[in-house]
Every structure is written in structure tokens, then in C-alpha cells.
Structure 1
Amino acid sequence: MFDEDGGQAGRELPWRLEPGTEVAGFAIEGLLAAGSFGTVYRARRGRRPFAIKLVGIEPRSNREVDALRLMRHPNVVSFHGYGFWPDDEPRYLVLALELVEGRPLDVWAKEENPSALELVMQVLLPFALTLADVHAAGVVHRDLKEANIVVRKEDGQPVLVDFGAAVLEGAQRLTMRMPPGTPEYRSPEVWRFAREWEGEHYPFTPGDDLWALGVITYLLLTRRLPFGDRNDPDMVGAILGKTPPAPHELNPRVPPALGELCLRMLEKAPGARYADAKALAEALSGAWAQADKSWRVPLFPGPGREERPAPVPTPAPAEPEHQGRRWGRRAMLVLPVVLGAAFLLTPSTQRLESAPSLPPQQATLRQELAPTKVTGEVGQDAGPQKSPTPAPVATATNKSEDPKMTKSQKTRALLSACLVATSACGGGPLLRPPPKPEACPPGYESGHARLRIREGQTNPIVIRPYNGNPDKGIPPPKEAILTEREAEAEILGYWGELQSRSVVRGRLFLGNGRVYGRFTEAYPSSSESVPVCMEIVSDVDVKPGWEMEPGSTSKQAIVSSVVVLKAVREFH
């Protein structure tokens, strides 16, 4: 029997464990959250803090473990493994998770009162890209809401938590009429299915997560739910048949372009919404690229917050190399980077478990749990893994490619042809080798810590000179012409302690059909230089270097004026 949120009704869970209680080698410090799928506690093992989640030993718990194992992403809560509790007669799984220090999204929004620009750049755009990666891994979260998005204190990034309701492609269905979720955030398809239910399982899709994100966006822009709450008898009817007032009609501080984008996320017909999370990210990038000064006004009135302080000014850019072009829609599509494997070494009464290893290029230095006794070597590949109890483990499947080539695909095809026949490509620029791997500058680690920038994080930049001014709503041109040289670039938006238009300095290289950039200095202020290790990466596959556009030569490259910079620990 299942309750309306898809949880198992009436199951016994330890809702309140007193501080100091020992659970599978962890010392409980306090309750963080309790819900239909388990109880989450703040805990500690030695000196290291964790969030541990206690869930019943049942098929849904296996699914949560399987979903978490697939998630290696800086904006998704990290999974370190699992154990069993109590030791003598195990009745619960103990999931060891990253303790994400921060505020739930709705609390953050109320306390910070962001502008539309800050909301898009700091929350909506990075979260849409995170969701794209989650879906690409074959996982649908199914319970997106503000409480399950934590704005991390360390760097202000949105982190997706609580995969208790998640489902994987190919996994066995556990609920029938009503899949898991929170009523106010369920899509019209879910409610229509429930009304017309004939005994089959609901065919979940990533679109259900995107609808929920539309509800979240509406709430952030207006401070009200678009269709009411579960206490309103008309809520389901409104979700199925009513269009809510536009956010900019309820709140004139919402830019109309952002309000219309939100309404499209809440269209009744799935085909009228954005096709996927990446398409939503592209739409957010396009809207941001056209932002004017009105986007910088706080979304709601508040004492002393009528005007957002302007970022610390930086020296004016030099005269542009070319004029008159507009910023394209590909301006700020930043793909987050997945992180490497982590291991759980359970207490002496438990066996060693580990998450599956990732390819070497995705490995990181995430610290392992320190056990009281282990039976294997830390970091050693433990081989194929199994769920805590027998249950099918789903993996992501390959999606069929769109038969129509995008502009980016056409560009890649043309560049590949140039590598074969350079004489046909305006002087054949692209057979030159890329720069050799190189160590980061001394002190970069303390520099990253000083700036609150984590390895693997990405952020858009625009390389000087250019004739735009994002702070005044004047975008850079669509393309830039770059040569091998010492270079300066400006940060777009806020990245750790780097404010909008903060300067980074380094060098550009051309080769292999790409522009490579290695930046070693950052300037949080005009008088302070901080050593960093950052390189330009592709917005498609996050590999070093940015694709040249057709027409590039051996001495100059045509690229998008906005490129992506990634914090690394060595130049590849």
C-alpha cells in the first residue's frame, strides 16, 4: 500500500534518533529532514561531517542507491556508499551522503531577494544544465521542489538532493496509479493518468521534472504557486486546464521575457514546452543575453534593496577589433563537469562497498571514508557492484541522434574535413598540434580556496577586446577573432569571490582546430592578483579548447565571443 506521495504507508522508520546515538559507525548530531522515503540526520565519523539517510530495506531503497551511484556531478549531492543498521538485526540501509551546507532554495530566495539576472545566472541556468546531465544518466528525480534544491553556502551553487523518489530507465515499476512526487509539482500528464487509470504503470519522463522546475520558477518569481496548493479543491483542475497569470503581471519587477519563458515551461501540452533541460538552458541563455538594466532590480521590494550594488568596476576594455555584431543564443551554455568515484568503507561489522569507478579523466581527489577496519585497499576497483538486496540496476541508454545537423555539428564536420584537406580551408590552419600538458602555477590551490572556486567548476568569460558591456545591457558581438597572444578576459556573472567583469589573465594558443586558453592570474580587485589554474573548455563535451568557426586560418581563429573557463589542477 502506498500513500499519495508514493511512499509506503505505515512503514516503521526511526524518525527521532537522539544526538550521540551510534549508527553504523556514525555519531548522530541532529535531525535534518524526515519524509515518506526516509530520515536524514547530520552525523560525524571521526572529524568528518556527513548527512546519513536511514531508509527501510526494500526495493525502492535499492533504486535510490542505484540512482545515486550514477550521479558524479558537482551540483548533485555526493554519495559515499551504504551500510546496514542495527548490526545484530539489520532493518535499515544507512546511506552516507555529502553534507551540503546551505539553505533550501525558497529560503535563499526570500533572504537574498535576488534580481532576475542573479536568479537566472546563479540558480536557473546552472540547475537546468545539472538536470540535463541527470537525465542523460537515465535518472528522473520525480520530486523536484525548493526543499530538494540547496544553495550551497561555499559557492552559491544550486545542489540537487534527495533521490528517494528517483527512477532509472529500465527499472522495475513499484507504484501503480500515482507515482511518487509532491502534489503541487505534479505535471498534467500525471494527474490525467491518475484520473484515467486502468491498472497500468505511469510512463515517467524527464518532462515531469521540467514541469516541476516550471512550478519552482513561477514560485520564485511571484512567491505564489501557479495552481494553488493541495488544500484547494480546484488545484488539480487548474493544473489540467487553467493558465496561471503571467509572472510579470503579478510582479512587475519580473522581466517580461523571463515571465514568458516561465509560462512556456507550464504549457499544458508537453510538445509546447521545452524539449529537454538543455533546450531550457539555451532559452535561459538567450534571454539573459538580451537582458537590460531592469534585470538587475531585486525581484521584490525590501529595505535598502531597491538598487543592487554595482560590481566592482574594472578598467575599460580596449577598442574592438570589429563592430556591430550581436550576441548569439549560444552565449552562455555552460556544461557542468561530472566528478570522480567515491568509496564507502563500512564499519568493522559491515563489508566493504564501493561505487563503480569512472574513467581516469573523470577521477578526482574526493576523500574516502576512514573505516575502523577494512578488507580491501582504498581506491582499488572492487569490480562489479550489487545493490544492497537483489534489484535490477538500470543504466543510461544511448539516445538516437537527431537526423538534422545543428550548426555546431556542421562546424565540427567542416573542421574535420579541413584536417584532411587543409588547402580547401583558407590556408589550412588546423593541423598544428595543441599545446603540450603543463603544470599549474605555484600557489594556485590556495588561490582557488581564496576565491571559493572548486576544481571542475565552469563559468563563461568574454575575451578582451570587445565592444560590449553586459552591466549596461550591451552584449558583446556574436563572434571574436583571436590570435596566439597574452590575453585578458572578463568573468560573466559571479564566480565564487570573482564579481561580474573581474579580470583573468593568461595566454591563448591555436591548434588542432581549436583555441586553447590557459589563465594563471585572477583579479578580484584592480589591486589584487591571485594565482589560478583555469583553461578554456568546449561547451559541448567539456574538453580542453574551443572549436574554431569556418573561415579560421593558421594565424587567427574565429570563435564565439563568449567561451567557457574551467578550474583545473593541470593544463591538459
Structure 2
Amino acid sequence: MLDESGGNGRNGSDWPGFTPGTEVAGFTIEGLISTGSTGAVYRARRGRQLFAIKLVPRNPRGDREVDALRRMRHPNVVGFHGYGFWPDNEPRALVLALELVDGRPLDVWAREENPSALELVSQVLLPLALTLADVHGAGVVHRDIKEPNIVMREADGLPVLVDFGSAGLEDTPRLTLRLPPGTPEYRSPEAWRFAREWEGEPYSAGPGDDLWALGVVTYAVLTGKLPFGDRHDPGMVRAILHETPQAPHALNPNVPLALSELCLRMLEKEPGARFANARELAEALATEWAQADRSWLVPLFPGAEQAERPTPSPSLAKPERQAPRRQWLAASSVLTMALGLLATAPTQLLESPSPPPPQQASLRQEMASPQVTGEVGQDAGPQKSPTPAPVAPPATSSEETQMMTSKKARSLAAATLITGAATCVGPGCASVQRRPPPPEEPCPPGSEETNKRFNNPAGRILHVSFGIPLPGTVTVSEGNHTVWIEEGMDKIPYRSLLHGKLLFGDNRVYGRFTKIELKGSREVFPICIELDEVVVDKVLNRNIGREIGIPMEPGSTPEKAIVGGFQRASVVSRFSF
């Protein structure tokens, strides 16, 4: 008989306590990470590679977890490499080989880092909302969203959704008698209402249950307490069903009013009063982010010895597709993954595989063993997280910094972002015909040696971002400017900086970058890189060359140019036009 977890009564605490050095399905155990209702997780090694391996029962629930993980290839979902069986002679457990996420649970991270509201939205809530949008789009509902299942990855500071042991899949039979597995404090009112009125059919949890749970998480991080108490409180269920929690900003004055109201909307009793889906939540978060003033920069909890953090100027406009790039920029800084993807196609997710786990290819097959599925060589290496992105880029000009306090301008930018339409107001709508293109210039001395050192010859194409790696637009001025390297230079650390200048002319912006500052070491080398774009023959539908500079968007003025936030650039031997 299946229990409320969809299993047979066995849980993680029932597994033997493997001691370090024990061999399990081709892995060498190094230590226990955690145990829970759906299995036990160990740190393990295979050769020189580290993994988190999870032992789950060979029952419908264990098969369901494998199927859920197979459906997703996502930088903010724990990576699934394959599975094996244990013990060899009479297998009674699946051994899931997972990405070993180096990081802290969200509640620990929030307590130790004391983020500002702006950091919480950009670094945690927006990425989570977009991640859930893609998870739900793959037909998966996590069903156990809570702080311990959100790990803040140390490598890039972004959240990773872990533990899909309670996951539900669309169009599959229900495994539970009444309520699906989950954590009581995070269950939605409709789930508790169903349980009280149960008539024999199982509850069908959907994306709305995940979004409600994310609202509980948001409230807890903002205030340091759960909105409806915990399971030890006999009134918890009644509170979830009937009581409105105290507003976060009333409990914590450092919570901006707009964010407090958004959080309460996530916790409305009726699903229709909440956000319809994760993408709508992301749009609301993006709007509030774009309208934030400097009060959003204050750490959430007083008493911590932290100063206000700087933040980039989010002068956004219409989202648009830019030069070819990876669908997700390897878990780059927050708004690559969030604001831009509000207007572009969702992350590519693998098609749903066939049900339970007989010998089938898995998502991230990075090991090979008679005990583990997949066809991958012994020396395959684990995926690496990119170098951490800086919390905030340096301001490029005092005028751009002042955009933080211009609520009217930021509101306009956010509205444009969400609607996807360019907004043009005032005389700036006219084209900008200031002067001819800038003259040619030689590259700085030493740039050729830099190219040889890092194997980046002239003609190498890369992609850069203007402070925030947006597929939308940003506003820039002439003069000294810094951009981030997003991709394309294999031997140079991701998110290294290019220093140079922007020049206006003939309705275009010319970017000429003469110094590269390596991420991490802060070493600076001469370089010769300029912004450009591909020229396409629309008749033949193929690339026929490149054009120097990038176009100004409608709404540009002689003093300010609106350009795409994510651009192509090339290593050159001379600056031309």
C-alpha cells in the first residue's frame, strides 16, 4: 500500500549509514549530506569527480523523481547525471548521481549575507520565478518549495532548486492517497481545504502550489518568521485558510512597501487573486525592480555592519533578440536570466522521456559504469559553474547613476520591458545625425601579445553586456565605458571587464575597448576589441559580413543613445569604421 509520500513507507533514515570509503554503485562515499522523507544524500567521488548521490527506494516515487529530473536541463535546477542500482545482487534502491552544489540553503544565506531588497529580488526571487516558469513548462511541479530546497550557489551567487523527491508530473497517475508529499507550513489554502473536504480522490497539486510556497519563502526571508506559524501551532491550518499575515513592511521597516504588497499578493487566499503563473510573477518583480529607489539598497535587517551596496542603473526598454548566444548565459548575473527572458523564448528543456528508469540515456551523462546508465567515457568531467559575477558594476557616468532616483524614467522603462514595445517620447524620437563616424585608430601597444597569450586572434567574435547583461536595451553616453565579457573568449574568465570608450556618429554607437581586466586576479592587459554587428543578406538569408558599431534605437538623443544591452564584438588589429 502506498503511503502519503507515494512510496512504501521507507525513507532516507532507513538506509544504512554508509561510512566514508564505502563503494556504492561505482561511487566512493565521502560523507553524509542529508536524509529526508524521500531518500539519503551523500557526498561521493568517482575518480577525481565529485557528486552528490541520492539513494531512493525502487518504488513509483523513486521512478517519478528520476523522470522529473530527466525533463529538465537548467542552470538553476540541480544537474542530473544518471542513475544506478544498489546493492548489486538484489537492487532495492536507485542511486541518483546529481550535481554537487556548493552553497548554502537560502535561509542560511539570507541570515549570513543580510541582502538588500534589491539584491533579494534580483539575485533570488527573479531567478526563482523564471526557473519555476521553465520547470512548470516542462510539466513538472516541485511540490516542496522551501528554503532548504533552494541552495545559493557559491560560484555565481544564484539559486539552485534541489530535491525533486516530492515532484509531480502532468499526465501521470497520482501516487498519494490524499495530499501529495510536501511540508505543512508551505501548503496552499486550496490544498488544506481539499484535505478537510476529502472525498477519496487525491489532490492534484499544480504550479499555483509552488508559487504559494515561494510566497511563504519570500515572507520568511523578508521578516525572519513564517507567515502562518509552524506545524506545532494548532492554529496553523486555520491561519493559512482564513487569516491575512501581518504585512512584511510592518514587521520589518526595511522592507519596501511595494515588495511587501507583492509578497502579500503571493499569499492571497484565493488563487485568482494571486499571480496566474510564474512568468506573471517575474514580470511583477521586474516592474518593482525597475521602479526601485535607494531605499531598496538598505540591508533588510538593521544591526548588521553592512553599508549600502551600489547598483547598476536599470534604464531598460524594449526586449529584443540580439546576436546568437547561449539560451542561458551559464547562470550569469541575475537579469540575464530574468528580465531578458521575460520577452524571449523559454529555456530549451528536453522532451519528456518514457516512464520509469530502465536503461535509457540520461541528461548529463558524465560517468560510465555497468551500474550507471549512459554511454560516457570514464574521464568525463563535471559541469563547472562560471566565475562569480560582481554584485554591481561601476557607474559609467553620474547621469546614469542618477537614474536610480528617477522613478518616472524607471517606471517607463519597466512598462516598456513588459509590453515589449519601444516607447518614444519627445524630440528624441527623431534620428540622431550628430556627425560622421569617428576616424580610424591604431590598436594600443601590446594588444597583439595579449591576443597570443590568450589565443584570441583578430577576428575572434565575443559577446558583451552593458553593465547588466540584458537582451533588452540600456541608455549610454559618449566617453569612457566598461562592459562585461559574457561569452566567446575561452581562455579569459567569464565576466572579465573591457575598458574603453563609446563614440557616437551617423546614428550608431562605436565601442572601442583597449584594456581587459581579468575577473578574479584583476590583472590588466592591452587589447583591441570593437563593437560590431552581422550584416545579413535578406534575399539569400545568410551573413555576408560585419558592420562596425551598433545602431541607436528610436528615442536616442545627441547626448544619450539607446542600444541593445547584449552585443556582439570582435577582436581587431585596428579600429576602423
TM-score bracket for the superposition, by shorter chain length: 0.5 to 0.7
Number of the residue aligned with 2:112: 111
Please state whether the residue corresponding to 2:249 is helix, strand or coil.
helix
Please state whether the residue corresponding to 1:233 is helix, strand or coil.
coil
Structure-2 separation of matches of 1:536 and 1:104? 42
Number of the residue aligned with 2:308: 308
User: Is residue 468 of structure 2 the alignment partner of residue 461 of structure 1?
Assistant: yes
**Contact 2:43/2:51 (<8 A) preserved:** yes
**Residues 156-191 of structure 1, C-alpha deviations (whole Å, 9 max, x = no match):** 110000000111111111012111110000000100
- In structure 2, give the amino acid aligned to 1:558: P
CA-CA distance at 1:351 after TM superposition: 9.2
CA-CA distance at 1:506 after TM superposition: 9.5
Alignment of 1:102-251 (within 5 A): 102-251=103-252
Number of the residue aligned with 1:253: 254
Number of the residue aligned with 2:361: 354
User: Is residue 37 of structure 2 the alignment partner of residue 52 of structure 1?
Assistant: no
**Residues 17-44 of structure 1, C-alpha deviations (whole Å, 9 max, x = no match):** 1111110000111111111111111100
Change in Cα spacing, 1:377 to 1:408, as seen in structure 2 (3 Å) is same
Change in Cα spacing, 1:234 to 1:48, as seen in structure 2 (3 Å) is same
Number of the residue aligned with 1:32: 33
Alignment of 1:308-347 (within 5 A): 308-310=308-310, 333-335=339-341, 338=347
**Contact 2:10/2:57 (<8 A) preserved:** no
Structure-2 separation of matches of 1:154 and 1:557? 35
Number of the residue aligned with 1:9: 9
CA-CA distance at 1:47 after TM superposition: 1.0
Number of the residue aligned with 1:473: none
Alignment of 1:384-533 (within 5 A): 461=468, 488=481, 521=516, 529=524
Change in Cα spacing, 1:328 to 1:81, as seen in structure 2 (3 Å) is same
Change in Cα spacing, 1:564 to 1:102, as seen in structure 2 (3 Å) is farther
- In structure 1, give the amino acid aligned to 2:80: F
Structure-2 separation of matches of 1:67 and 1:201? 20
CA-CA distance at 1:339 after TM superposition: 7.9
Change in Cα spacing, 1:225 to 1:144, as seen in structure 2 (3 Å) is same
Structure-1 separation of matches of 2:10 and 2:284? 44
**Contact 2:2/2:175 (<8 A) preserved:** no
Please state whether the residue corresponding to 1:285 is helix, strand or coil.
helix
**Residues 298-327 of structure 1, C-alpha deviations (whole Å, 9 max, x = no match):** 11123423x23547xx9xx9xxxxxxx975
Structure-1 separation of matches of 2:532 and 2:36? 42
**Contact 2:4/2:177 (<8 A) preserved:** no
Change in Cα spacing, 1:210 to 1:20, as seen in structure 2 (3 Å) is same
Please state whether the residue corresponding to 1:257 is helix, strand or coil.
helix
- In structure 1, give the amino acid aligned to 2:273: A
Task: Tell me whether 140-149 or 516-525 shows the greater mean CA deviation.
Answer: 516-525
Change in Cα spacing, 1:568 to 1:488, as seen in structure 2 (3 Å) is closer
CA-CA distance at 1:377 after TM superposition: 5.5
Number of the residue aligned with 1:558: 554
Structure-2 separation of matches of 1:569 and 1:355? 37
Number of the residue aligned with 1:470: none
Change in Cα spacing, 1:40 to 1:279, as seen in structure 2 (3 Å) is same
Structure-2 separation of matches of 1:408 and 1:121? 16
**Residues 362-387 of structure 1, C-alpha deviations (whole Å, 9 max, x = no match):** xxxx78225489998538xxxxxxxx
Number of the residue aligned with 1:369: 367
**Contact 1:461/1:563 (<8 A) preserved:** no
Structure-2 separation of matches of 1:568 and 1:444? 16
**Residues 504-561 of structure 1, C-alpha deviations (whole Å, 9 max, x = no match):** 669999xxxxx99999956769985478999999xxxxxxxxxxxxxxxx96433895
TM (norm. structure 1) is: 0.65
Number of the residue aligned with 2:412: none
Number of the residue aligned with 2:297: 296
CA-CA distance at 1:69 after TM superposition: 0.7
Please state whether the residue corresponding to 1:17 is helix, strand or coil.
coil
Structure-1 separation of matches of 2:215 and 2:39? 26
Structure-2 separation of matches of 1:569 and 1:38? 50
Number of the residue aligned with 2:79: 78
Structure-2 separation of matches of 1:238 and 1:532? 62
- In structure 1, give the amino acid aligned to 2:144: D
Change in Cα spacing, 1:293 to 1:15, as seen in structure 2 (3 Å) is farther
Structure-2 separation of matches of 1:534 and 1:84? 53
Structure-1 separation of matches of 2:15 and 2:551? 67
Please state whether the residue corresponding to 1:218 is helix, strand or coil.
helix
User: Is residue 296 of structure 2 the alignment partner of residue 287 of structure 1?
Assistant: no
- In structure 2, give the amino acid aligned to 1:274: F
Change in Cα spacing, 1:163 to 1:54, as seen in structure 2 (3 Å) is same
**Contact 1:460/1:563 (<8 A) preserved:** no
CA-CA distance at 1:411 after TM superposition: 6.8
Structure-1 separation of matches of 2:568 and 2:101? 21
Structure-2 separation of matches of 1:518 and 1:207? 48
**Contact 1:480/1:558 (<8 A) preserved:** no
Change in Cα spacing, 1:533 to 1:164, as seen in structure 2 (3 Å) is farther
CA-CA distance at 1:222 after TM superposition: 0.4
Count of residues in Structure 1 that have an aligned counterpart in Structure 2:
446
**Residues 191-232 of structure 1, C-alpha deviations (whole Å, 9 max, x = no match):** 001011111121221000000000000000000000000000
**Contact 1:106/1:146 (<8 A) preserved:** yes
Change in Cα spacing, 1:129 to 1:340, as seen in structure 2 (3 Å) is closer
Percent of aligned positions that are identical: 56
**Contact 1:479/1:558 (<8 A) preserved:** no
**Residues 68-104 of structure 1, C-alpha deviations (whole Å, 9 max, x = no match):** 0111011110000111111111111000000001111
Change in Cα spacing, 1:374 to 1:237, as seen in structure 2 (3 Å) is closer
CA-CA distance at 1:114 after TM superposition: 1.0
Change in Cα spacing, 1:352 to 1:247, as seen in structure 2 (3 Å) is same
Change in Cα spacing, 1:372 to 1:179, as seen in structure 2 (3 Å) is closer
Number of the residue aligned with 1:66: 67
CA-CA distance at 1:290 after TM superposition: 1.4
Change in Cα spacing, 1:174 to 1:302, as seen in structure 2 (3 Å) is same
For structure 2, the 5+ residue unaligned runs are: 320-334, 351-356, 378-414, 423-430, 432-449, 457-461, 485-492, 534-549, 556-560, 572-577
Structure-2 separation of matches of 1:534 and 1:338? 29
Please state whether the residue corresponding to 1:111 is helix, strand or coil.
helix
**Contact 1:533/1:567 (<8 A) preserved:** no
Change in Cα spacing, 1:456 to 1:153, as seen in structure 2 (3 Å) is farther
**Contact 1:128/1:280 (<8 A) preserved:** yes
Structure-2 separation of matches of 1:280 and 1:75? 17
Structure-1 separation of matches of 2:464 and 2:181? 32
Change in Cα spacing, 1:378 to 1:340, as seen in structure 2 (3 Å) is farther
**Contact 2:140/2:168 (<8 A) preserved:** yes
**Contact 1:141/1:209 (<8 A) preserved:** yes
